[in-house]
C-alpha cells in the first residue's frame, strides 16, 4: 500500500531529527582518506595508455578542471559523510559543466543533466554536494570575491530546496512532465540580466548576448554540421578525417588491441546490430535506414579521457544525409564501492537506464552493447543533437547565480522523478539552514580540492605522472 502524504512528510521530518542540516557543514578529510593521486593512478591503469597524458594535461589547467576529472576522489570523500537516508537515482557527477542544452525528440531545446557515466541509486546529498562544490570552485576560478562565491553556491542549493518543495505539492505525472525548455531559459536569462544590470552593467549585458548566441548556435549543431568539421571527401565518398591524437580513424589504428582491420570492421558492424536491438521498434526501424560509413576513436571530456570513445559516421538517403553516433565505454561507477553494485549486469545499460530515469527527455538513439567476449561495456547516443553548454569561465557573479539556480532546479526535478519529493522536501525544511550548511561544506571541499590540485601538479613536475598540455 502506498504511504500517505502525511506519512511521507513524517519520514522526512524523522530523517531531519536523525541528521540535521548542521551535520553537513563540518566536513574535513577522513583520517584514512585515500591518496588522491593513487585514486587517479588506479583509474589510469585501465585506460588507454596513450591518452592518459592527455587526461592529466586537461586536469592540470586549473583547480576547476582538476575537480571535473576527480569524481572518483570526491566519491571516496562523500562516503563517510552524514546522509538522511533518502535515496534517489544519482547522476553521480553533478558538477555544473554536466548540465546543458540539447534537443528533445519534439525538437525543442531543453536544459538538463547530460552526463550519466557514474549514475547509481544513492543518497540525494551526494549530487547536491558535488554540484555545490563545483560552483564554489568555479566562482573562485573566475576570481569572485569570497562573499560572491558563497552567494552563488547558496543560490544553487536554495533553488534545489525550493524546487523540491514545489515538486512535493505536484501530482506524480506533473513531476514526470516537468522540464525547462528554451522559452523559459531565454526569459530567465533576460530577467537575470535586467535584475543585475545596475551592479554589473556591460559585463552582464555581454554575457546575456553570449548566452543567447549559444542557444541559437546549439540549433545548428547537428550531424550535417559535424560532417563539415569532422569529415572529408575521399574517392567521392565522405569519411572521418584524421586529426590525431583527438580523432583517429580506425583505418589509422594499425593494430587496434590485436585485431586486424577486417576484424575491427566486422566487430563494429556486429556491435551496431546488437546496439539496434536495444532500441524501441520504431527507432530501430528508423536506424535501419542508415548504413555505417566510417568509425574513429575520438577523445572527449576530461574525466572520460582514456576510456574507449568512438564516433560512427552513418549515411541515410545520400552523402548529404549523415548521422553521427557516439560510442562511449561505460566502466563501473566511482560510487559503486560506496553505495553498492548496480542491478544491471551491463554498465552501458546502467548508464542508459539512469539517464532515462533522470532526464525530462532523452536521445531517441540511446542504447547499449557489450564488447567482444563481454569484457567491455558501451553506450551509444547521437554525437550532436543541438547540444549547447555554458561558458563557465566567462561568467560574472550575477550570471553564475542565475545558472546555479537553473542547475539546482534541474537537479531537484531529476531527483523527484526517482525519489520521494515529499520526504526530501520535509527533510530540507522551509529555512535556509540546509543551504548554509552545504555552502560551508562546499567552501571546505574547495580548499581541499586546491590542495589536491597542487599535489597533482607537483607529481607531474616530479615525473610521477605524465601530462600532455594543450590538447
Q: What is the pLDDT of residues 135-174, one digit of tens each?
A: 999 999 999 999 999 999 999 999 999 999 999 999 999 9
Q: What integer pLDDT is reported at residue 217 of this predicted model?
A: 78
Q: What is the pLDDT of residue 246?
A: 87
- Segment 435-457 mean pLDDT: 98
How is residue 347 written as a grid cell?
554498465
Q: How confident is the model at residue 306 (pLDDT cuts 50, 70, 90)?
A: low
| pLDDT at 390 (0 to 100) | 86
Query: What is the per-residue pLDDT across 252-261, written as a single tens digit (0 to 9) for each?
Result: 875 555 666 6
Least confident range from 31-40, 382-391, 434-443: namely: 382-391
Of 132-141, 153-162, 295-304, 429-438, the least confident:
295-304
Residue 238: pLDDT band with limits 50, 70, 90:
very high
Residue found under cell 552513418: 314
Q: What is the mean pLDDT of residues 295-305?
A: 77
Question: CB within 8 A of 168, min separation 6: which ones?
Answer: 421, 422, 424, 425, 426
C-alpha cell at 383: 554525437
| pLDDT single digits (tens) 413-430 | 999 999 999 999 999 999
Cα–Cα distance for residue pair 109/102, rounded to 1 Å: 5
Q: Which residue would you say has higher pLDDT here, 308 or 22? A: 22
What is residue 252's predicted lDDT score, i.e. its pLDDT? Answer: 81
Whether the predicted pLDDT of 373 surpasses 70 = no
Average pLDDT over residues 82-111: 95
pLDDT at 199 over 90: no
**Range of lowest pLDDT (91-100, 117-126, 191-200):** 191-200
The whole-number pLDDT of residue 196 equals 59
What integer pLDDT is reported at residue 211 of this predicted model? 73
Averaged pLDDT for residues 11-24:
97
5 pLDDT higher than 80: yes
Percent share of the chain, pLDDT over 90: 71
- Comparing CA positions, the residue from 152, 127, 128, 129 lying closest to residue 139 is 152
Cα three-residue angle 129-133-137, rounded to 5 degrees: 175
**pLDDT score recorded for residue 257:** 58
DSSP category for residue 445: H
Average pLDDT of span 400-407: 95
- Kindly indicate the confidence band of residue 215, based on its pLDDT and cuts at 50, 70 and 90: confident
229 exposed, middle or buried (CB, 10 Å; 0-12, 13-18, 19+)?
Answer: exposed
- Of 19-23, 127-131, 293-297, least confident by mean pLDDT is 293-297
Say yes or no to pLDDT of 244 above 70. Answer: yes
Q: Where are the beta strands (DSSP E) in 118-165?
A: 120-123
pLDDT at 97 over 70: yes
pLDDT at residue 32, rounded to an integer:
95
Q: Per mean pLDDT, which range of 9-13, 206-210, 325-329, 434-438 is the poorest?
A: 206-210
Please state the rounded mean pLDDT for residues 91-102: 95
pLDDT score for 202: 65
Amino acid at each position: 500500500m502506498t504511504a500517505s502524504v502525511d506519512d511521507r512528510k513524517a519520514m522526512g521530518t524523522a530523517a531531519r531529527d536523525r541528521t540535521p542540516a548542521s551535520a553537513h557543514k563540518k566536513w574535513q578529510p577522513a583520517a584514512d582518506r585515500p591518496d588522491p593521486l593513487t585514486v587517479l593512478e588506479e583509474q589510469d591503469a585501465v585506460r588507454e595508455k596513450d591518452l592518459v597524458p592527455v587526461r592529466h594535461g586537461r586536469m592540470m589547467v586549473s583547480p576547476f578542471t582538476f575537480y571535473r576529472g576527480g569524481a572518483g576522489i570526491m566519491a571516496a570523500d562523500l562516503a563517510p559523510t552524514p546522509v538522511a537516508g533518502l535515496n534517489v537515482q544519482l547522476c553521480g557527477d553533478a558538477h555544473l559543466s554536466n548540465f546543458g542544452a540539447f534537443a528533445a525528440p519534439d525538437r525543442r531545446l531543453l536544459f538538463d543533466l547530460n552526463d550519466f557515466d557514474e549514475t547509481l541509486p544513492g543518497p540525494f546529498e551526494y549530487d547536491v554536494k558535488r554540484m555545490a562544490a563545483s560552483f564554489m570552485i568555479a566562482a573562485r576560478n573566475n576570481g569572485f570575491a569570497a562573499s560572491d562565491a558563497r552567494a552563488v553556491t547558496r543560490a544553487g542549493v536554495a533553488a534545489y530546496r525550493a524546487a523540491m518543495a514545489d515538486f512535493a505539492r505536484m501530482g506524480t505525472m506533473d513531476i514526470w512532465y516537468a522540464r525547462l525548455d528554451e522559452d523559459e531559459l531565454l526569459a530567465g536569462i533576460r530577467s537575470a540580466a535586467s535584475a543585475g544590470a545596475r551592479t554589473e552593467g556591460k559585463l552582464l549585458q555581454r554575457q546575456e548576448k553570449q548566452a543567447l548566441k549559444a542557444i541559437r548556435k546549439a540549433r545548428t549543431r547537428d550531424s550535417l554540421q559535424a560532417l563539415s568539421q569532422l569529415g572529408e571527401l575521399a574517392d567521392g565518398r565522405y569519411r572521418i578525417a584524421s586529426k590525431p591524437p583527438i580523432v583517429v580513424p580506425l583505418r589509422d589504428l594499425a593494430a587496434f588491441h590485436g585485431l586486424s582491420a577486417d576484424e575491427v570492421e566486422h566487430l563494429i558492424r556486429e556491435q551496431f546490430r546488437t546496439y539496434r536491438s536495444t532500441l524501441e521498434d520504431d527507432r530501430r526501424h528508423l536506424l535501419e535506414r542508415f548504413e555505417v560509413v566510417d568509425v574513429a576513436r575520438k577523445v572527449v571530456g576530461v574525466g572520460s579521457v582514456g576510456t574507449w570513445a568512438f564516433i560512427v559516421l552513418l549515411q541515410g538517403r545520400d552523402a548529404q544525409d549523415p548521422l553521427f553516433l557516439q560510442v562511449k565505454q561505460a566502466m563501473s561507477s566511482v560510487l559503486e564501492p560506496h553505495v553498492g553494485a548496480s542491478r544491471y549486469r551491463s554498465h552501458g545499460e546502467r548508464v542508459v537506464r539512469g539517464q532515462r530515469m533522470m532526464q525530462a527527455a532523452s536521445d531517441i538513439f540511446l542504447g547499449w552493447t557489450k564488447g567482444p567476449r563481454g569484457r567491455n561495456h558501451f553506450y551509444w547516443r547521437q554525437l550532436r543533437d543541438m547540444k549547447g553548454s555554458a561558458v563557465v569561465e566567462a561568467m560574472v557573479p550575477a550570471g553564475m547565480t542565475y545558472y546555479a539556480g537553473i542547475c539546482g532546479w534541474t537537479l531537484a526535478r531529476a531527483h523527484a522523478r526517482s525519489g520521494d519529493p515529499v520526504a526530501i522536501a520535509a527533510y530540507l525544511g522551509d529555512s535556509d539552514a540546509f543551504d548554509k550548511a552545504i555552502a560551508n561544506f562546499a567552501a571546505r571541499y574547495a580548499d581541499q580540492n586546491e590542495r589536491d590540485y597542487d599535489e597533482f601538479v607537483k607529481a607531474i613536475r616530479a615525473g610521477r605522472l605524465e601530462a600532455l598540455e594543450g590538447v
